[in-house]
Amino acid sequence: MKQSSQEIQKLRAKAQSAIDRTSQLQQVLAQIEATLSRKENQKVTEKTAKI
């Protein structure tokens, strides 16, 4: 019984680690998307100012 409890704890730790990595990845992707959006908006603003 103790062995299965330890195995469950290991699996929980692995699952939490995977969740943490997923969360970090989502944050990085959101930052990239925000940066690209700002650059695109800046280009549009510059083109609009030239007209």
Predicted TM-score (pTM) of this structure: 0.70
Model pLDDT for residues 1-51, shown as the tens digit of each residue: 678 999 999 999 999 999 999 999 999 999 999 999 999 999 999 999 987
pLDDT value at residue 50: 81
pLDDT value at residue 33: 97
Taking CA 34 as the corner, what is the angle to CA 33 and CA 38, rounded to the nearest 5 degrees?
120
Tokens of 31: 């930052």
pLDDT value at residue 2: 76
Q: What is the domain range of residue 25?
A: 1-51
Taking CA 30 as the corner, what is the angle to CA 26 and CA 36, rounded to the nearest 5 degrees?
145
